[in-house]
């Protein structure tokens, strides 16, 4: 929980990536590099590529990775850290983090203070369709070098993998974010800290609620939303859209996201088809989500998780980023699920995501025997992730989880 330090490696993009440990692992990090330049020892400066060169890049990445790894081990073994004195093992801590069209995952298997760690898997290449070699002066090939040294010297056993991505900047940043978030989650699991359960609601001094009424020639919609369930006995759920399957999906969303209130009453031209009602309801709920979340101050902001309904399993990766993007791969066998056309499922998620100002990736892990199960698994995974993202982490003390200091667009 330290403050942001001085990070000056001589590789500005690497500085920005290491800073993800401050924003997303909630660690105070300082990294300062000295190097030989024209026969003199010079200290690299922040926010400049003055001393960057491909000739010594590998050495720089190795030295930075080793230093960060050693500092991590010292921190994890420091006096007062619960559970890290000898070996810290979980069943494997995983976190996936998105950045626009890209998302990557990190798996931390264990920590051993007595042995070297290991980078068991590193799979990011190609860095975009043209396998970009540099991001500014940052050579992408040495990303693996950095993480291999971090793993070795920290005692952590790590796997890093790109799952989607066409932009080298996004691929690398999503990887650093996934590592930082996974490290914080790993530390919390070992130390028995459960931020999501202990503070899934707001700080009780503010209300995170919104309501919207939307009326067009095609639909009439009233939505009320309260993000936080203060008292399960007094939670309120009323969903009547005129499309039974849509009601089931939004019921699943409210349950898994643990809303205190979700009221959605709609009437539309369903005698024509389901398009206008589905779209307008999703737009309105998305707008309410965005309004209720406000500036996202104190929120976890990112989440990743999955849900299984019978034989179908879907993973969702989410970021309350104010940068709308939907990655979607659900493939239905039929034309409709009851009274909801299958083509509208993607449109439903797109309308919520874009109006909610989120980055969302839906990923089919297992396709079951019915389209209904697949759609419900997707919505339950979406709600599970939203619960993680909207939860307030008191350690952030109301700060926005962003290296920029804001999520304003």
pLDDT at 88 over 70: no
The residue extents of the domains of the chain are 7-193, 209-395
Q: Is the separation of the CB atoms in 243 and 278 below 8 Å?
A: yes
> What CA–CA distance (Å, rounded) separates 101 from 166?
7
Three-class DSSP category at 267: strand
Max mean pLDDT among 48-52, 110-114, 335-339 falls in 335-339
- Number of neighbours of residue 120 by Cβ within 10 angstroms: 12
> What CA–CA distance (Å, rounded) separates 72 from 151?
10
Residue 362: φ, ψ to 5°: -105, 130
pLDDT at residue 198, rounded to an integer: 45
Fold identical between 7-193 and 209-395? yes
pLDDT at residue 191, rounded to an integer: 82
Q: Is the separation of the CB atoms in 13 and 173 below 8 Å?
A: no
Fold of 7-193: Ribosomal Protein S5; domain 2 (3.30.230)
Which one is predicted more confidently, 396 or 132?
Answer: 132
Average of per-residue pLDDT across 341-361: 97
pTM, to two decimals: 0.92
Q: Is the separation of the CB atoms in 6 and 55 below 8 Å?
A: no
Average of per-residue pLDDT across 220-233: 87
Q: Is the separation of the CB atoms in 157 and 33 below 8 Å?
A: no
pLDDT at residue 281, rounded to an integer: 95
> What CA–CA distance (Å, rounded) separates 350 from 223?
18
CATH number belonging to the domain at 209-395, selected among 3.30.230.40, 3.40.640.10, 3.90.960.10, 3.90.1170.50: 3.30.230.40
The predicted-structure confidence for 181-205, as pLDDT tens digits, reads as follows 999 999 998 888 887 764 444 444 5
pLDDT at residue 260, rounded to an integer: 94
- Percent of the chain exceeding pLDDT 70 equals 92
pLDDT at residue 235, rounded to an integer: 76
Beta bridge partners of 366: 313
Q: Per-residue confidence at 82, pLDDT binned at 50, 70, 90? A: low
CA distances from 35 to 9, 69, 145 (A): 10, 20, 18
The predicted-structure confidence for 25-74, as pLDDT tens digits, reads as follows 999 999 999 998 888 999 998 888 888 888 899 999 999 999 999 999 99
pLDDT at 400 over 90: no
pLDDT at 161 over 50: yes
pLDDT at residue 50, rounded to an integer: 84
Angle at 98 between CA 173 and CA 275, to 5 degrees: 150
The predicted-structure confidence for 252-286, as pLDDT tens digits, reads as follows 999 999 999 999 999 988 888 899 999 999 999 99
Residue 395 CB contacts under 8 Å (≥ 6 apart), including other chains: 1, 26, 195
Q: Per-residue confidence at 89, pLDDT binned at 50, 70, 90? A: low
> What CA–CA distance (Å, rounded) separates 248 from 401?
33
């Amino acid at each position: 929980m330290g403050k942001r330090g001085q990070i000056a490696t001589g590789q500005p993009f690497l500085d920005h990536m290491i800073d993800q440990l401050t924003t997303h692992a909630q660690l105070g990090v300082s990294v300062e590099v000295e190097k030989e330049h024209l026969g003199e020892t010079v200290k690299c400066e922040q926010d400049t590529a003055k001393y960057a060169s491909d000739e010594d890049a590998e050495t720089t990445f190795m030295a930075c990775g080793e230093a960060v790894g050693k500092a991590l081990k010292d921190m994890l073994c420091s006096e007062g850290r619960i559970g890290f004195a000898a070996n810290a093992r979980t069943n494997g801590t995983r976190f996936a983090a998105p950045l626009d069209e890209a998302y990557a995952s990190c798996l931390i298997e264990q920590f051993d203070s007595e042995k070297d760690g290991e980078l068991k898997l590193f799979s990011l290449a190609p860095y975009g369709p043209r396998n970009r070699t540099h991001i500014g002066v940052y050579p992408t090939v040495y990303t693996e070098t950095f993480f291999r040294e971090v793993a070795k010297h920290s005692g952590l056993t790590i796997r890093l993998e790109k799952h989607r991505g066409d932009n080298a900047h996004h691929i690398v940043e999503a990887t650093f974010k996934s590592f930082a978030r996974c490290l914080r989650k790993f530390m919390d699991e070992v130390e028995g800290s459960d931020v999501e359960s202990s503070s899934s609601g707001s700080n009780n001094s503010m209300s995170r609620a919104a309501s919207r009424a939307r009326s067009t020639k095609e639909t009439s919609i009233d939505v009320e939303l309260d993000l936080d369930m203060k008292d399960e006995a007094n939670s309120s759920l009323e969903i009547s859209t005129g499309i039974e399957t849509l009601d089931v999906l939004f019921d699943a969303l409210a349950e898994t996201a643990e809303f205190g209130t979700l009221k959605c009453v709609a009437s539309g031209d369903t005698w024509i088809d389901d398009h206008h009602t589905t779209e307008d309801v999703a737009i309105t709920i998305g707008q309410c989500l965005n309004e209720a979340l406000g500036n996202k101050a104190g929120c976890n902001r990112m989440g990743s998780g999955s849900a299984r309904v019978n034989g179908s399993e879907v993973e969702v990766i989410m970021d309350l980023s104010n940068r709308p993007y939907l990655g979607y791969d659900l493939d239905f066998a039929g034309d409709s699920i009851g009274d909801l056309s299958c083509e509208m499922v993607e449109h439903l998620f797109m309308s919520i995501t874009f109006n909610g100002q989120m980055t969302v990736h839906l990923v089919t892990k297992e396709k079951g025997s019915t389209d209904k199960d697949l759609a419900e698994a997707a919505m339950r995974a979406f709600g599970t992730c939203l619960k993680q993202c909207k939860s307030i982490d008191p350690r952030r003390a109301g700060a926005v989880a962003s290296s920029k200091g804001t999520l304003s667009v």
